[in-house]
Each structure stands twice: as C-alpha cells, then as structure tokens.
Amino acid sequence: MGSRGLLHIYRDQAAGVVQTVQPTQPADQSTTSAVIEVSSSNTAKSALPTCMGTAGGASLASHCNTISLLTNTNGGFTTVSKISDPNVVLNEQFCPARTYAIAAGEELASSVQGTNAAEIQSQCEAFGPVMKDYAVSLSLKRRDAVLRDVSSFILTTGIAPQQAAGTAKICLSVGYRTDNMDVAIGSALLLSALGEQVYGELMGHHLSQGFGATQRRDLALEWYDQGLSALEAGQPAVFAPGQPERAVLLRMATNALGGEGVAGTMNAPVQPVSALPTLTITE
C-alpha cells in the first residue's frame, strides 16, 4: 500500500495496536511470504457507556456561515472601541482564522509533487486517528502538559520538523475544509509544539466555543495567551495579517472573558470534567 500503508502503521502504533510478523514458508519452498497478525492491547478494557452517539460535534463550517451573516448584518467586525460582548469578538475572529488556515494550506499543498488533492485529503484523514488522543487531552489538561505530550510524540515519528510543520499546515487546511475537528486540532497542536506558537490561538477558540473539544474557557485562556504573546514577541501573524488591531482586540476580549484577565488565571487549578503522514514539499 506504499505510503498509505505506512500511515496505517503510524495510526495503529499511536492507538496501542501491537503488530507481529511471522514468516511462513509456502509448500513449494520457492518463495517466502509474511503473515501479519494484528492484536489490540486495549481489548481487555471495558468501554464506557455513552448516550450521545458517535456522530460527532456541531459543524464549525455551519457555525461560521452563521457568524458571517451576523457580522454583515451588524455592519462589519467589532472594533476595539466597540467591544460589548467578548464572545462575539472571539467568534468573529475564529472564523476568519479558519478561512486563512484553509487558504494557506491549499497554497502549500500545490507545491506537493506527485500527489493530487484527493490523495492529500486521504493522508490527512489518517492524521485524525493518530492525533485523536492529543485532541481529547486538550479538554482535560493544562496547555503545558498537552504540549509536552505532543512534543514527545513528534520525537517518535522520525519526521524532520520542517516537513512535519508543512504537513501539519496542509492537514490543518484539510481538517477545517472537511469539518474534521480531530485533524484540525491535531494539526494545530503539532504546529504549536514545533514552535509556531501563534497557532495556540486556534486551541483557545476550540475550547472557548466547544468545537472539537469540551467547552473549557478556563483552559482556553492559556492557549489564547500563548498565541497572543507570540505575536507580541514578534512572531509573524498567520491569521488576518492585514488587520493591525486584531491582536489588541483579541487580548481585550480574552481579558474580559477571564474576568481577572489571562494573567490572573495562570495559577488557577484546573477542575476535572465528567502515527503521522508526511508530505514532501518543494520550495
């Protein structure tokens, strides 16, 4: 299965699936083949019951269509001088960030040689199962703990950081375009762990609005702070770079959302709640 077979191996390893290879000799002794027996180390675990089904969460694409209509009805985006509802501001800025991420990934994908759009989407869809546990942990752990876990995972892949970052940007685009939140969040987590901290803003949005994650505004503030602090430290803006007051607007909105502001939440205790593809990019 070529590279797709490798993706399946990455996925299985990340899921705790043990693969054993046993050589067998055919009757005519002329060739050698291999039988792969796959067993899961998780089969003994009892599954938790759920009454919510498995259809997934709300559609971010549909949500952003609604936000776009509301923004147009209100005469445009909220400005620094007219903030009244921080949640409105965060929604208004989340959706353009999604649009910019889609466009940037599509542009980067055009430089991938020997792979068409359908194949890229297929590879990125395999990204979701590999990163699902890390996407889930976003709703349960503090930012630094999540980033440590993702960084440790990156070290096991053997993929060069530049290639991992390029692949993550392409798959971030695919995840948002196809409304696959595991792929989108997993890609953004990789980029943040690889040092592109401005992408922390996306995790803040997912947690504050509850798309692909449990709504945890206490945890969202740490991710917003990472993204905004990176911008303030000089990292290039990747979302709406032509909107100069955007960072100030987001900082004001997150401060209002957190009551005491982002800085006041850093030491607050968190309350509990009830394998990778790689695409060769040519410059």
Nearest to 121 by CA among 280, 277, 6: 277
Please identify every stretch of the chain with a pLDDT value under 50, giving residue numbers as ranges: 2-7, 10, 18, 20-56, 260-274
pLDDT of residue 31: 32
Amino acid 159: pLDDT: 87
pLDDT value of residue 205: 96
Going by their DSSP bridges, the two strands 33-40 and 17-24 should be labelled as antiparallel
Which DSSP string do the residues of 51-104 spell out, in sequence order?
SS-SS-S--HHHHHHHHHHHHHHTTS---GGG---HHHHHHHHHHHHHHHHHHH
- Extract the tokens encoding 61: 């694409």
Per-residue confidence (pLDDT) for residue 105, from 0 to 100: 95
Let me know: does 51 contact 274? Beta carbons within 8 Å. no
Question: Looking at residue 276, what is its pLDDT?
Answer: 57
Phi/psi at 70 (5° precision): -65, -40
d(CA 131, CA 176): 15
pLDDT of residue 257: 83
Residue 143: closest CA among 240, 10, 262: 262
- For residue range 76-97, list pLDDT tens digits in order: 888 888 888 999 999 999 999 9
- DSSP for residue 237: P
Tokens describing residue 189 = 């987590």
SS3 of 138-205: CCCCCHHHHHHHHHHHHHHHCCCHHHHHHHHHHHHHHHHHCCCHHHHHHHHHHHHHCCCHHHHHHHHH
Residue 9: what pLDDT?
52
Backbone dihedral region for residue 259 (phi beyond 0: left; psi -120 to 50: alpha; all else: beta): left
What is the model's pTM?
0.73
The answer to whether the CB of 279 falls within 8 A of the CB of 190 is no
Tell the residue number behind the tokens 């509850």, with chain if given.
210
- Report CA-CA distances (Å) from 85 to 10, 52, 60, 257: 43, 31, 20, 9
> Can you tell me the distance from the alpha carbon of 136 to that of 138, in angstroms, rounded to the nearest whole number?
5
